[in-house]
Amino acid sequence: MLFKVFEKSPRTLSVEDIIAIILRKRGLGDHEFQTFLNPKHPAEYSLYDLGIKKMDFQKARDRLKKAKANKESVVIYSDYDVDGITGNAIVWETLHRLGFSVMPYIGNRHAEGYGFSETGIKNMTEKLKPSLVIAVDHGLSAESHIRELKKKGVDVIVLDHHLAKDGLPKSALSILFSRKVSGAGIAYYFAKELDQALDEHHLVYAGIGTIADVVSLKGIARSLAYHALRSMPRVRQVGFRELLDSAGIGSRNRYGTYDIGFIIGPRLNAAGRLGNAMDALRLLCTRSRSQAKRLTALLEQVNSLRQTMVRKQLAMAERQIILQQKDPLLMVFSESFDEGVVGLLAARLSEKYRRPAFVGSIRNGSVKGSVRAADGINVTELLSESADLMSSYGGHEKAAGFLFETGKIDEVRKRLLQVAAKGIKLAPIEMDIDLETGLGNMTLKLAYALEGLEPFGEGNSQPLFMTRRIEIANSRKIGKLQNHHQFMFRDPQTGVLVRGVMFNSDKLAGRVDLNSPVTAVYRLVVDSFREEKPSLIIHHLENS
């Protein structure tokens, strides 16, 4: 294992010194520390701080005024992921409260696909007959569909943060675009301009969308995420409270990005992946406790199915990429993959093998899939080099979707490998360490101070520390399956003892001699079981 260490210091450091090292590693100057640690409340920002022009909002507002006066049908049409669902909830509830004739719509992933599609537009217009559509978290790459809607007398307002392939859509009435926040973030500030009295749960929804969509948590995005997490314990919206309770975290008085990324987000996402994302949206908007309980039970069931599906299909994907280990990118397409989980499979493969991973589901003569990438690789640009082979594609720098005909699988493989060979160098797996230091610096005071760096996420990962040549005073297997290890580490120079846990470490035996000094890479957390004390979450362990 190779280590990329930002700073080394064997001496005893103050908590303030360690926090400063971590913040400098994130590209912050000393004068920015306090703003980062204590971000302004989102209410202190406006739509225009996102870089959106006042003229574009005024066009959208004027069109909405006309729609309300004429009692026109307005539709909020969003993406089916967490960002789209939360953004839809914010805009729909705001316009509904302001007296509009408004309905939400989310395309079915399997039947209609992402964003605007021919089938989705047909279903939406026939069912809801709108004269105004607000696209949330999609639309920037949908000029042809927006043009067709315009021909039918339907105006379109776009609220999006994705990269546009061919420039902004000229047929849209108004475009509110920003890369500073997620789609839900734009929705929040759009709604805030329309109605200054937004409910607190709207801020929470915007923060959830921001965290779940892996937006860089700096500036306004950090403000949304930071204050949303602090507002979560106070939210009384019945559907959201039921969601927290069913996940077993409803009684907490504080929340972190883990709760969004691994508990709340997957439950909301599961509806769009394997069921109907409208169920997740209804849950976030319902005022009926009985409906909230029914919808929550449905989401729990679908999420459980998603977990089982990912586990089985990931094993299949691993078997199929055995011969690709030396390639600059990974590609696996199969009829056995469900298109609702291909993004999860791609993310797991990319994270493990540190290179772009393309995973596609083969259905009805097409390959529909997702690509995820390691740091420094723009997958949307990578896909653009194969644009002539794609039926459609689009997304972010690190995550994108694609669709092409099965007859072109070999051509797509060849082209992507050619492009990757020119532009992607396979880097060895490297751990990015904030600070290499002694165990004596791993105190409870520091563990609490590190919590002040929350929310963690893109652009602000949880700090990683490394200590060399430490001893293992004792160790034992823990967990129902005995697949985790608990350690007591000793610094031989100072005698300091610190407890640590390594999860899913059942294969540790044979790779590490626990009777010899080790090098540990870890996170520092507060262990609140029985008594509060510092504890290490071990990411890597090897003999020194």
Q: What is the pLDDT of residues 191-228, one digit of tens each?
A: 999 998 899 999 999 999 999 998 889 999 999 999 99
Per-residue pLDDT, 431: 84
Report d(CA 407, CA 428) in Å as an integer. Answer: 34
What letter would DSSP give residue 39? P
**CA-CA distance, 172 to 291, in Å (whole number)?**
36
Mean pLDDT of 242-271: 94
- Three-class SS state of 524: strand
Contact 524, 536 (CB under 8 A): yes
Nearest to 486 by CA among 470, 502, 467, 468: 502
Q: What is the pLDDT of residues 379-397, one digit of tens each?
A: 888 888 888 999 988 777 7
pLDDT of 325:
79
Rounded to whole angstroms, the Cα distance separating 52 from 186 reads 9
Label residue 495 left, alpha or beta by phi (over 0 means left) and psi (-120 to 50 means alpha): left
Q: How confident is the model at residue 423 (pLDDT cuts 50, 70, 90)?
A: low
What is the C-alpha R_g of the chain?
24
Max intra-chain CA distance, the chain = 79
CA distance 218 to 504: 32
Residue 492 and residue 10: Cα distance in Å, rounded?
A: 13
Q: How confident is the model at residue 180 (pLDDT cuts 50, 70, 90)?
A: very high
pLDDT of residue 429 exceeding 70, the answer is no
Q: What is the pTM of this model?
A: 0.87
User: Confidence class of residue 265 from pLDDT cuts 50, 70 and 90?
Assistant: very high
**25-29, 88-92, 166-170 — most confident range:** 88-92
Predicted local confidence at residue 425, as pLDDT: 58
pLDDT of residue 206: 98
pLDDT at 422: 77
Residue 337 and residue 321 in contact, taking contact as beta carbons nearer than 8 Å: no
Mean of per-residue pLDDT scores for the chain: 92
For residues 319 and 401, the answer to whether their CB atoms sit within 8 Å is no
Torsion of CA 531, 534, 540, 544, to 10 degrees: -120
The closest alpha carbon to 15, from 315, 418, 453, belongs to 453
